[in-house]
């Protein structure tokens, strides 16, 4: 009985609100639209969560340090374009082109990390500058035109294929891209919660100066966090281009805010020191289910954004309320 009480105390208002909100939305949209709980719509929700989920896997590493990366969306666009350049324009084999794309994403994260740790530029300003650079380069390289992957055999199956080997599979088959998202969430979730790397990131977020005084190389671990975020933007680029079979130079605009919002809705604090991979993925699902349900009800896009913004504000408010109660 005492253990149950302890667990209930450790279960914050914000966590309960996340779970309650998720189930409430599922129940509401299930009754509001007969098309919500169909196999095809569930698959749509999973696919729409996929990109935000993968980006959130990287964003949470930066957020728990007290930083932020607003370049991951346009980095995804830039890497998408470069995948098109590598694979379709230059004729590099797809596996090699994808590897080059992943390396490029990591390099973008490395540059962000260097600006933050070595040049002492505020994370928001540093990554905002990178956002503008990658966005501009994506348009310059393509002249604003999309790059198509139609001639690349098997490329679309990276995302839309199934473990059974064929495109689409049965109505209840889960696409490869969704499985990749869950696999990454598990792997990086373990890294964040169970390894020295993750513990150091939380320590940095709680008190950077105290962490430095304890002998931990703060700059190194922060740098690695930004590299992870850049790498995840590259993975998202692979999945996005595979799903669309096209690289659009402006496809990632706004995705950085979706990823950050997913982390915040899932319980992460922008002040650092708090957040989890499980929460980030749940946050991504909440956003996808909300957007999907509102579309089924023919709610205008503008109101979808308004409701998403309100959910973010409520999540931050609950986080602040929880902190005040802990201080009392």
User: What pLDDT was estimated at residue 1?
Assistant: 42
Residue 31, Cβ neighbours under 10 Å: how many? 9
What gap in Å lies between CA 192 and CA 273, rounded to an integer?
A: 12
**296 within domain boundaries:** no
**214 within domain boundaries:** yes
**8 within domain boundaries:** no
What gap in Å lies between CA 87 and CA 94, rounded to an integer?
A: 6
Mean pLDDT per 10-residue interval, the chain, length 328 residues: 44 71 90 91 93 97 97 97 97 97 98 97 97 96 95 93 67 86 97 96 95 94 98 98 95 90 90 92 93 91 83 75 60
Question: Computed over its alpha carbons, how large is the radius of gyration of the chain?
Answer: 20
Tokens of 302: 């503008």
User: What pLDDT was estimated at residue 328?
Assistant: 54
**312 within domain boundaries:** no
**29 within domain boundaries:** no
User: What pLDDT was estimated at residue 158?
Assistant: 95
C-alpha dist (Å) from residue 140 to 105, 134, 217, 250: 18, 10, 38, 11
pTM of the model: 0.91
What gap in Å lies between CA 68 and CA 128, rounded to an integer?
A: 10
Tokens of 110: 């490395």
What gap in Å lies between CA 165 and CA 208, rounded to an integer?
A: 48
Q: Work out how many domains the chain is built from and give that number.
A: 1
**118 within domain boundaries:** yes
**105 within domain boundaries:** yes
For residue 267, is it left (φ>0), alpha (ψ between -120 and 50) or beta? left
User: What pLDDT was estimated at residue 13?
Assistant: 63
User: What pLDDT was estimated at residue 317?
Assistant: 78
**287 within domain boundaries:** no
Residue 22 near residue 281 (C-beta atoms within 8 A): no
Residue 253 near residue 144 (C-beta atoms within 8 A): no
What gap in Å lies between CA 61 and CA 263, rounded to an integer?
A: 10
C-alpha dist (Å) from residue 115 to 2, 63, 110, 235: 49, 16, 9, 23
| Residue 226, domain extent | 40-253+269-274
């Amino acid at each position: 009985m005492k253990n149950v009480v302890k667990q209930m105390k450790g279960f914050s208002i914000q966590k309960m609100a996340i779970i309650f909100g998720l189930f409430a939305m599922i129940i509401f949209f299930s009754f509001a639209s007969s098309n919500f709980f169909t196999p095809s719509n569930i698959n749509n929700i999973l696919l729409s969560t996929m990109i935000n989920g993968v980006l959130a896997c990287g964003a949470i590493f930066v957020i728990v340090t007290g930083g932020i990366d607003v370049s991951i969306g346009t980095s995804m666009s830039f890497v998408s374009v470069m995948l098109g350049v590598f694979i379709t324009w230059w004729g590099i084999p797809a596996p090699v082109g994808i590897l080059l794309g992943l390396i490029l994403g990591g390099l973008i994260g490395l540059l962000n990390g260097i600006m933050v740790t070595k040049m002492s530029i505020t994370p928001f300003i540093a990554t905002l500058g990178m956002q503008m650079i990658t966005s501009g380069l994506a348009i310059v390289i393509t002249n604003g035109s999309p790059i198509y992957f139609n001639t690349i055999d098997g490329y679309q199956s990276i995302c839309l294929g199934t473990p059974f080997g064929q495109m689409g599979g049965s109505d209840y088959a889960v696409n490869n891209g969704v499985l990749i998202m869950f696999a990454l969430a598990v792997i990086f979730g373990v890294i964040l919660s169970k390894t020295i790397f993750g513990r150091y990131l939380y320590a940095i977020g709680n008190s950077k100066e105290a962490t430095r005084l304890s002998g931990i190389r703060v700059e190194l671990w922060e740098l690695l966090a930004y590299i992870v975020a850049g790498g995840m933007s590259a993975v998202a680029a692979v999945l996005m281009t595979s799903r669309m079979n096209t690289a659009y130079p402006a496809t990632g605009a706004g995705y950085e805010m979706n990823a950050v919002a997913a982390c915040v809705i899932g319980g992460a604090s922008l002040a650092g020191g708090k957040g989890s991979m499980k929460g980030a993925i749940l946050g991504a699902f909440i956003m996808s289910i909300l957007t999907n349900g509102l579309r089924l009800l023919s709610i205008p896009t503008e109101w979808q954004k308004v409701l998403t913004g309100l959910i973010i504000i409520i999540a931050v408010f609950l986080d602040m309320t929880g902190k005040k109660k802990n201080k009392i």
